[in-house]
Amino acid sequence: MKSLLLHFQINIIFISINCYSQTINYDGFVNVPLSFAIPKSEGSAYILLNNKPQNAQFDTITGFFKWIPESSDIGYHSFNYTVFTENNQQKETGRFSMYISDKKINTPPTIDLQKCIHNNKSCYINNTGNIVINESDTLILIFKITDNDDVFTSYYFNNDLNNKNIENVSVILENDYKTIQLTCIPKQINADSKQINFYIITRDSNGSTVKLIQKINILDINFPPFISNKPLQVKYLYDDLKYVYQPIVENDDSNELIWQLVCDEKLHEFIEFNNKTGEIALVVKKSKIIEDTLSYRLKLMVKEVDEQLFADSVELLYKWKKSNVAPVIRDFYVWEIKEGIPATYQVIADDSNVSDKITYSIHSSNIKGIKINETSGLIELNADYELVAPYEKNKEFVVTVNATDSKGLFDSKKLTIKIFDRYNPSSISSKYTTYKENFSRTKNVLR
């Protein structure tokens, strides 16, 4: 008796048959190719095989047998064969048996960096395997886990198993834990620490565990001051008012800032200006309006105290207008959130009439628990399992957001929300953190 263990590769095993009814045993696995040849002795012409499995192949001339057992083939199998001569005379007989096992050959899963996007271009990875980016860059990494079995995947940061949240970094697990997407838009706080170490651990049903460490180096770049809330359109004045514009500056350094306002001298009596904060208070009375086409154009500039040139500026244009106009909601992007983590989304609406107050509202028939701050336009949602369970994975919802001014004029836009229902269960016990939407430095955010 002879026993052979067959592996994934297809090997042809030639068997010497020297005695009548010799039995040869084979121990095989489901979905693993089994192949061998029954050699013809001298003077033999062809071989017949009885009980051949329906999904097996057997060549009567060469004696080659090939079989890829399926789950229905699990168990013991016995086959008889007969060798014939050229004149169809029986020459000899034999028998071989197989046992098909349901055990699987344990191949551990693999983790690969499938896609790396740095500022909308392919990533540069240095010779140490690290990814190098600058502060305020945008980095997207997509990791793919390859395994035939179900896997459980977890992640953490900076060699701390309990650290699953880093400011300005978001992680999404999807496709049954086999795809991991990391999005990183680092700020000054990340640059101070110099590096982010991202750990991925995956384990299959056989207990095989694989770990990957991706290091992200963050360079500290000193950006000049940048005014982030520049108005996008003309502001209209239509009543006695005092309108205040407070610039918001993104500045990586703590240096003192100097502000300068440029405007016609005739406007000085209408303006209150703070050169330390850049705040402008524009006071207008109807009694001062001479004609309907009267306009006010201002230019506000900012620089660091030690610099000679101004780094950024904003132009403000105000016009007198008798009629009211509706607010305009800025375009939305798809809001992607994870189940089990409270998330926020900022709605921004521009109203040309500076004296108007905007009220926000939201309408949804299939998302419970979503709410919006009527004054600030901040949407809050905690997508729990009860919300996602009735729908398919990664369900998309659409809600309607309204912005209404004090005169009743309004604008409406549709916001698409994509909820991922696969997340790391071990993170449930950790402290909830709010998902922060990160905006590019090149976008002007009106606050």
Listed by start position, the domains of the chain span 3-101, 110-219, 226-320, 328-427
Domain 3-101: give its CATH code: 2.60.40.10
DSSP 253: S
Whole-Å CA distances, 188 to 136, 164, 219, 438 = 8, 20, 10, 14
For Cα atoms 4, 5, 9, give the angle at the middle one, nearest 5 degrees: 115
Q: Residue 354: what pLDDT?
A: 63
Residue 61 in tokens:
């001339």
Residue 15 in tokens:
């068997």
Chain centroid to Cα 354, Å, comes to 39
Return per-residue pLDDT of the chain as tens, 447 residues.
333 433 333 333 333 333 334 566 777 887 778 888 887 777 788 888 888 888 888 888 888 888 888 888 888 888 888 888 888 888 888 888 888 887 766 778 899 988 899 888 888 776 667 898 888 888 999 999 987 678 889 999 998 888 888 888 999 887 777 889 999 988 777 766 788 999 999 988 778 889 999 999 888 777 778 888 887 667 776 655 677 888 988 765 667 888 999 987 777 777 889 988 899 887 766 666 555 456 778 889 988 887 888 888 888 777 766 666 788 888 888 888 877 778 899 998 877 666 668 899 999 877 878 899 999 899 998 877 666 555 555 567 889 999 998 878 889 999 998 887 654 333 332 222 332 333 333 333 333
Task: State in words which class domain 226-320 has.
Answer: mainly beta
Nearest to 361 by CA among 304, 434, 411, 318: 411
* Beta strand segments in 267-350, E: 271-273, 280-284, 295-304, 312-320, 328-329, 335-338, 343-346, 349-350
β-pairing verdict for 359-363 and 349-350: unpaired
Q: Residue 44: what pLDDT?
A: 82
Q: Residue 345: what pLDDT?
A: 92
DSSP 435: B
The alpha carbon dihedral of 41, 43, 45, 50 has a sign of: negative
Strand order in the sheet with 56-58: 34-37, 64-67, 56-58
Residue 322 φ/ψ region, left for φ over 0, alpha for ψ in the -120 to 50 degree band, beta for the rest: alpha
CATH pick for 110-219 out of 2.60.40.10, 1.10.10.60, 2.40.30.10, 2.160.20.10: 2.60.40.10
Nearest-angstrom CA–CA distance, 106 and 309: 66
Question: In whole angstroms, how large is the CA radius of gyration of the chain?
Answer: 36
- At the fourth CATH level, the homologous superfamily of domain 328-427 is Immunoglobulins (2.60.40.10)
Q: Residue 423: what pLDDT?
A: 44
* Beta strand segments in 129-253, E: 131-134, 139-146, 151-157, 169-174, 179-184, 195-204, 209-219, 226-227, 235-237, 241-245, 249-250
